[in-house]
Amino acid sequence: MSDTALPTVLFVCVHNAGRSQMASAFLTHLAGDRVQVRSAGSAPADTVNPAVVAALAEVGIDISAEVPKVLTVEAVRGSDVVITMGCGDTCPVFPGKRYLDWRLTDPAGQGIDAVRPIRDEIEHRVRALIEEIAPAVRR
């Protein structure tokens, strides 16, 4: 990561329909233009989990137009930080990248009551990540 380039973060889970979508939405929402954000799945679903969409809507984040995306080598290569969330060994590893594995419950098949604590944990982790890689300018 250079001093002039924005840090790029890639969130990866299996279906790109839950955890990685929530994490990318929170990072985009909270960090704004201080970070470039990507998300993908090793085996993307057709749609984003409706309970995830509803849980984020409760905190003022609209991801209803998002579509799961397939994980590509280019996405990993073009990212400074790659955060996996249960994608197993399918995520390619390149030297010079920072890899983190966030062990989080999979919201697949869960109702909104089960998704809320996952959402809140992801928000907590994203806030800590922002402070580390793209802290707000303090005046």
Beta carbons within 8 Å of 127's beta carbon, 6+ residues apart: 26, 30
Active site residue 112: no
Residue with tokens 């604590």: 117
Active site residue 87: yes
DSSP code for 36: E
- Residues composing the chain: 139
Q: Which one of the listed residues 23, 87, 104, 126 is annotated catalytic?
A: 87
Active site residue 91: yes
Distance CA 35, CA 32 (A): 7
Distance CA 134, CA 45 (A): 30
Measure CA of the first residue to CA of the last residue in the chain; give whole Å: 24
Q: Which one of the listed residues 9, 12, 13, 75 is annotated catalytic?
A: 13
Q: Which one of the listed residues 12, 71, 85, 91 is annotated catalytic?
A: 91
Question: Which class for 106: exposed (0-12), middle (13-18), buried (19 or more C-beta within 10 A)?
Answer: middle
Catalytic residue numbers read 13, 87, 91
